[in-house]
């Protein structure tokens, strides 16, 4: 069973504000023997160009069961092991085309 591309809803702590968190969709990604997740956001317009350059658009957001146009936030990745005790709820998964495009995008960046 592959987890890559699955989307869950989870209470994600803020990176820059200790003690604060937000319930949001996350994208599971597996690379080698490491499994981690990226946050998914619908906020794009008011972000700086530097931040937006690390946002990957989810083209098939409706089929992924997301409520509005969304982006994978590639600015931070989170090791899934560090968040194993936080409950998650299954939401959906990326379309095959979005998976292919994201994989290409990540390969070109890293």
Burial-class residue 29 by CB neighbours within 10 Å (0-12, 13-18, 19+).
Answer: buried
Domain 6-109 part of CATH 2.30.30: yes
Alpha-helical segments (H) within the chain: 49-52, 96-109
pLDDT digits (tens, 9 = 90+) for 7-65: 999 999 887 878 899 999 999 998 888 888 999 999 887 888 888 889 999 999 999 99
What is the tens place of the pLDDT at every residue in 22-34? 999 999 998 888 8
pTM recorded for the entire structure: 0.89
Identify the pLDDT of residue 26: 96
Q: Are 64 and 98 contacting, i.e. CB atoms less than 8 angstroms apart? A: yes
């Amino acid at each position: 069973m592959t987890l890559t591309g699955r989307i869950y809803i989870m209470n994600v702590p803020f990176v820059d504000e200790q003690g604060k968190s937000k319930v949001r969709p996350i994208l599971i990604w597996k690379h080698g023997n490491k499994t981690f997740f990226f946050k998914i956001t619908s906020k794009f317009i008011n972000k700086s160009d530097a931040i937006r350059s690390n946002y990957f658009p989810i083209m098939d957001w409706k089929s992924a069961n997301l409520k509005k146009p969304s982006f994978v936030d590639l600015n931070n990745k989170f090791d899934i092991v560090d968040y194993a005790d936080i409950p998650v709820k299954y939401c959906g998964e990326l379309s095959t085309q979005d998976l292919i495009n994201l994989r290409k995008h990540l390969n070109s960046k890293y």
